Structure 1
Amino acid sequence: MNSPRLLERVAKVRAFNRLYTALIGVLDEGLVGTEYSLSEARVLYELEQQGVTEVTELRRGLGLDAGYASRLLGRLETRGLLARERSESDGRRQIIRLTETGRAAQHSLEQRTVDQIAELLGRLGDEDQQRLVAAMGTITNLVGERSPRPALVLRPPRP
């Protein structure tokens, strides 16, 4: 059973989540005034950071369901933002990378995001900016992933 104190804290976290998602426009039709959803923008960002990567690695890193990831990557590929090919070492694996168009889209998204956050911070004085960033650091330290996920353990084969 959840205690009243815990339920009150849950309500405060949820209220903060609603405030922040509204503040940065996550629920808008396109992220930072673009045609891209948050998921699409995140995939473009990760591919820009990683360069060439396997679909399974990207999917795991973002915690995406295989079916959703396939549809998401298909949309980005259809729009000419990424290219997929089979792995030379294992034909069952797919390798993906940004195209030049995808790289340009990611750079535009990055600049718009920087501008958006700079505008948000610009509403605050220097001391409040420092307090906000410190509070975000505290949140990251408290709820961020503290250790790698446990490895999957397979049972021994049965006769």
Structure 2
Amino acid sequence: MATVTAVREALVRRLDRIPGLVVRPTFGLQPAPPVAMLVLGVPGGSASTPGVDYGSTFRGGNPMIFTLRVLVSAAHEESAVHQLDAYIDPVGERSVVAALEADSEPLVDEGGVMIADFVQVPALLFAGPMEWSGAPYFGGEWLVEVRAT
């Protein structure tokens, strides 16, 4: 069974493919944009969106749900929106979806061992002005589903 840490690290490696984006495996207190941060579960989540669904037996693995937050500088609104749009686009070198779903390839650990059947990004939960640690940013939050083996 894949560990949460192994899955998180593998997701970070996929996101590292996006040029210029600093990727952190967890939410940081003082991020320097542009930055991507992962958290297990959905902030303010519920039993319908658990971080790890231990009761699921579908395909023999445990589904894991992460929230990915990408923050860009809010110093210039037009530039921020343009930069955020590139991360939101479903294709392109800065696309979060394209980097994470990686042509439907299984997720592998550092040694190349498969740790998840698939990664999918079913939804962008929010995009626009947001605050983090008291500072203004423009950002987006994506739901990331992983079927760990």
TM score, norm. by length of structure 1: 0.29
Higher gyration radius (CA): 1
Higher percent of residues as strand: 2
TM score, norm. by length of structure 2: 0.31
Instruction: Tell me which of the two structures has the higher relative contact order, counting C-alpha pairs closer than 8 angstroms and 6 or more residues apart.
Output: 2
Higher percent of residues as helix: 1
